[in-house]
């Protein structure tokens, strides 16, 4: 089994697209309106096989905006990745060493939280 898609609960699709595309650097793969009142947007982090999907008008996937916590973006160079996000206007916390694994946390405009994670032995 491969995990390839996560539902990301957001309040404003256009604001979230701007954040993830323009600030975090995700690629917009899908932005469709298959029915009245329904919109599906899928974005993928650079280098990832797993994407996130944001929707409106789909009761079966409804979650409270900002309720997703601790999504990990695994990076090869946490300082360079953090610096790139900060340069694009993302408020990223300082890098923390937690037992040899490095983390730097940030949140999207709705409060969903992410962390850059670097495991030096994987580089």
Res. 123: pLDDT tops 90: no
| Rounded distance between C-alpha atoms, residue 10 and residue 108, angstroms | 9
Res. 60: pLDDT tops 90: no
What's the structural domain count of the chain?
1
26 contact partners, CB below 8 Å, separation of at least 6: 20, 43, 44, 45, 46, 52
In tens, the pLDDT along 97-114 reads: 999 999 999 999 999 999
The CATH number assigned to the domain holding 80 equals: 3.10.180.10
Q: Is the pTM of this model over 0.85?
A: yes
Write down the mean pLDDT value for the chain: 96
Cβ atoms 87, 43 nearer than 8 A: no
Q: What is the mean pLDDT of residues 29-55?
A: 96
Which residue reads 């995990």 in tokens? 3
Q: Is 75 helix (H, G, I), strand (E, B) or coil?
A: coil
Range of the domain at 94: 5-58+66-122
In tens, the pLDDT along 72-101 reads: 999 999 999 999 999 999 999 999 999 999
Q: What is the mean pLDDT of residues 35-46?
A: 97
């Amino acid at each position: 089994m491969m995990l390839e898609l996560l539902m990301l609960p957001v309040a404003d699709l256009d604001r979230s697209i701007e954040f993830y595309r323009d600030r975090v650097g995700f690629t917009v793969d899908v932005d469709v309106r298959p029915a009245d009142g329904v919109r599906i947007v899928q974005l993928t982090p650079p280098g990832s096989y797993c994407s996130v999907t944001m929707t409106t008008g789909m009761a079966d996937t409804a979650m409270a905006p900002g309720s997703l916590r601790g999504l990990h973006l695994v990076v090869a160079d946490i300082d360079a990745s953090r610096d790139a996000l900060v340069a694009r206007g993302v408020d990223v916390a300082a890098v923390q060493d937690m037992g040899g694994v490095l983390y730097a946390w940030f949140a999207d405009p709705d409060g969903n939280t992410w962390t850059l994670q670097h495991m030096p032995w994987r580089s």
